[in-house]
Structure 1
Amino acid sequence: MPLPSGVSARFSVCVYCGSRSGTRPAYEAAATQVGTLLAEHGWRLVYGAGDVGLMGAVARAAQSGGAETFGVIPQHLVDREVGKTDLTQYIVTENMHERKKVMYMNSDAIVVLPGGAGSLDEFFEVLTWRQLGLHQKPIFLLNTEGYWDPLMQMIRHVITEGFAEETLLSYVDVVDDAPALSAALAARSRTTLA
């Protein structure tokens, strides 16, 4: 269905990532590259609204390039994650469940950068929803320096042990670097906005 006159299509990318920077400089460098590529393509960043760790790096890079930024943070994390109030849109939710729902509902694709338990929680939620047929959004793991290799081994183990179908692997696209992610997202944005 065509958009009304004067309304432009916008591809929105939800980025899940750590509120810490991790031990390797490559993690923050990759987060910065992701924010930059979003801006270069004119895509909107949807993320957890923090100004710390990889979250802050991706948001600052996106902002520097002129990208729209849509941040969602629960009230109890505003101080801990340093809520970034200078975003295009800044939303404070009552809890984590609302945060994840708002981020998911406002995105066309999911990208998971290195992160901890929170990023894994977000990843497994959207993966489970995809497995259940609740959405068709692509899920990309940015596998900076092999960070997600153990996770993919675990998913294969789950399949081998009979707790999931082989199709589970088809719901996750593993990309090694920002240029590969950029190409994969560009292909998806063309089909989403067509």
Structure 2
Amino acid sequence: MEVKKADFIMSNTDVSKCPKERLPEYAFIGRSNVGKSSLINMLTNRKSLAKTSGKPGKTQLINHFKINDNWFLVDLPGYGYARVSKSTKKVFQKFITNYFEKRLQLISAFVLVDVRHEPQPIDMEFMQWLGENQIPFSIIFTKADKLKPAALEKNVAKYLDTLTNDVWEEAPHHLVTSSSSGFGKDEVLAYIDSLNEVVNSGE
């Protein structure tokens, strides 16, 4: 798939006000500062479609982007170490869970994980919550360019081993990316394209 068109549609905190179109939707979420905005800009060939910031917690709304006029990319607030008040964080968590529980157009979530780090409890808890609520998701490992190939492979394998030992019988689908080099871009878009084909075929 080639992204020829990417348009910002709306931002809000109320799931009921999200776009009414019955287009397939893919939600990107992860801990603050995991490189989500950079990944979205890389996937869409746009330098500033999603706003990047050195300050964790920049995304504080549900942001809808229409891609090629036939699917939505959804940029959700980062969870975890965002520098926001506890009361604001509770609101984040509420509308994030509302989105996942109520958004019928959602086909899959993509949980972003910085491949350089050990498995974080907050990531593991969030993925477990998705599983318990039967919400399909894949893991996207980010910042692959920060590691040498052998270390990258070792870290991914270790992360997946931790998941299968602690929570899952089988590791979730995963992809490896680098926003700075473009690594993994084609694989992510091809995966979304394959899911769109299934949706459109009515299977």
| Structural mapping, 1:50-61, within 5 Å | 52-53=53-54
Structure 2 partner of 1:181: 188
Structure 2 partner of 1:168: 170
Structure 2 partner of 1:150: 155
Query: For residues 144 and 73 of structure 1, what CA distance do their matches in structure 2 show?
Result: 16
Q: Measure how far apart 1:72 and its partner are.
A: 5.9
Asked whether the 8 Å contact 2:77–2:92 carries over to 1, the reply is no
Identity of aligned residues (%): 9
**Aligned residue-pair number:** 152
Deviations 1:78-120 (A, max 9, x none): xx57xxxxxxxxxx88534313303423332111334599x95
Asked whether the 8 Å contact 1:12–1:108 carries over to 2, the reply is yes
Structure 1 partner of 2:124: 124
Could you tell me the TM-score, scaled by structure 1's length? 0.51
Structure 2 partner of 1:33: 42
Query: For residues 153 and 51 of structure 2, what CA distance do their matches in structure 1 show?
Result: 22
Q: Measure how far apart 1:185 and its partner are.
A: 1.1
Aligned partner (choices 19, 22, 25) of residue 12 of structure 1? 25
Structure 2 partner of 1:102: 98
Change (3 A) 1:10 1:123: farther
Query: For residues 170 and 137 of structure 2, what CA distance do their matches in structure 1 show?
Result: 12
Q: Measure how far apart 1:11 and its partner are.
A: 1.4
Asked whether the 8 Å contact 1:109–1:139 carries over to 2, the reply is yes
Asked whether the 8 Å contact 1:110–1:138 carries over to 2, the reply is yes
Query: For residues 33 and 195 of structure 2, what CA distance do their matches in structure 1 show?
Result: 29
Q: Measure how far apart 1:172 and its partner are.
A: 2.9
Q: Measure how far apart 1:73 and its partner are.
A: 8.6
Change (3 A) 1:122 1:137: farther
Report SS of the residue matched to 1:179: helix
Asked whether the 8 Å contact 2:42–2:185 carries over to 1, the reply is yes
Q: Could you tell me which runs of 5 or more consecutive residues in structure 2 were left unpaired when the two chains were aligned.
A: 1-19, 178-183
Could you tell me the TM-score, scaled by structure 2's length? 0.49
Query: For residues 153 and 24 of structure 2, what CA distance do their matches in structure 1 show?
Result: 25
Q: Quick check: which one's helix share is greater?
A: 1
Deviations 1:15-56 (A, max 9, x none): 11454376xxxx86533123x17x9xxxxx9xxx98635986
Asked whether the 8 Å contact 1:18–1:114 carries over to 2, the reply is yes
Asked whether the 8 Å contact 2:52–2:58 carries over to 1, the reply is yes
Report SS of the residue matched to 2:170: helix
Asked whether the 8 Å contact 1:15–1:112 carries over to 2, the reply is yes
